[in-house]
Amino acid sequence: MKILITGGAGFIGSNLSEQLISQGHKVRVVDNLITGYRKNINHLLHNPNFEFIYGDITNLETCRIVTKNIDAISHQAALGSVPRSIDNPLGSHNNNVNGFFNILISAKENNVKRVVFASSSSVYGDEKTLPKKEDKIGKVLSPYACTKKINELYCDIFTKCYDMEVIGLRYFNIFGPKQDPKGDYAAIIPKFIDKIMNNESPQIYGDGTYSRDFTYIDNAVNANILALSTNNKECFGEVFNIANGGRISILEIFNKIKTYLDSDINVKFIENRKGDIPHSNADISKAKKYLDYEPKIPFEQGIKKTIKYYLKLNYNKNSNELVKY
């Protein structure tokens, strides 16, 4: 297959690109490099099965161009982060809603039936029931969650109205190699690792009891490949939880990383953030049943692999490893 990956220079997109190429597929990446990094795909640029297009999916004409002569689309492009969306709701809507809509319109025009897109566990909002089941969501708590919920609605509509095969993957806190540890909106695991390696005290919002269903990157990549290739018609127009199916508190994660890195650094507790969901734990039975999804890398193995990756990069305060090109 020839597969378009939007946001393919980002954390998940670049890992997915590598895996698809290793399986013999052709990959075209479009990325505006706002949250993605050319460094993530530099090693692929000379591969004859890889094509990179610098472009922005908020431009409909760009989307029309990049979706030509494509068999399937993996839509990973987005402005992630709940706090970022609260700080910049217009940017989140423009990229996450308008950008996705442009991809769907362009896919329809260019006869690309299969579109797999990244949704988020944030759509569960204030629904307190654990574990989270796909058909039971509450009121969203942030602009970011709202954008992903709108994406899911369009998933259903384009499948029903235009005979497309749109599949949504609700990610639960994906982590692993190539995730950016720097900046105000960095995810918690790479940020913890980076801070501890630099002998700095990381911050935890609240008292550390909030918990998440952290999911190693290889599991998310595998879920995307399964969704891109499935022949199961019951998957079309549906969304699926992609997770490990367990949960661990933020403070527990800090202590694990601290132990693995043989550090005695202490954490700083600060006020809870707006828009944060207290607990997240996925029921992945639907993905298992319809996509044959199975998380192959458990949390403990994933966190060790991630720490090993960052140790190899040997980050320090003056590191330019993740400086954008």
In the structure, how many helices (H) and strands (E) does the chain have? 11, 13
- Residue closest to 74 by CA, chosen among 39, 38, 29: 29
- In the chain, the N- to C-terminal Cα span, in Å, equals 29
pLDDT per residue of the chain (325 residues) written in tens, 0 to 9:
999 999 999 999 999 999 999 999 999 999 999 999 999 999 999 999 999 999 999 999 999 999 999 999 999 999 988 889 999 999 999 999 999 999 999 999 999 999 999 999 999 999 999 999 999 999 999 999 999 999 999 999 999 999 999 999 999 999 999 998 886 667 899 999 999 998 999 999 889 999 999 999 999 999 999 999 999 999 999 999 999 999 999 999 999 999 999 999 999 999 887 777 788 899 999 999 999 999 999 999 999 999 999 998 864 444 444 433 2
User: Other C-beta atoms within 10 Å of 59: how many?
Assistant: 14
Question: For residues 89-114, b (16+ Cβ closer than 10 Å) or e, as one string?
Answer: eeebbbbbbebbbbbbbbbbebebbb
Active-site position among 37, 144, 216, 290: 144
Is residue 144 part of the annotated active site? The answer reads yes
- The tokens describing 95, both together, are 């990229």
Q: Which CATH superfamily is domain 2-176+216-242 in?
A: NAD(P)-binding Rossmann-like Domain (3.40.50.720)
C-alpha angle with apex 318: 314 to 324, nearest 5 degrees? 90
Q: Could you tell me the residue ranges of all domains in the chain?
A: 2-176+216-242
Tell me the backbone φ, ψ of residue 25, rounded to 5 degrees: -85, 160
Q: Is the pTM of this model over 0.75?
A: yes
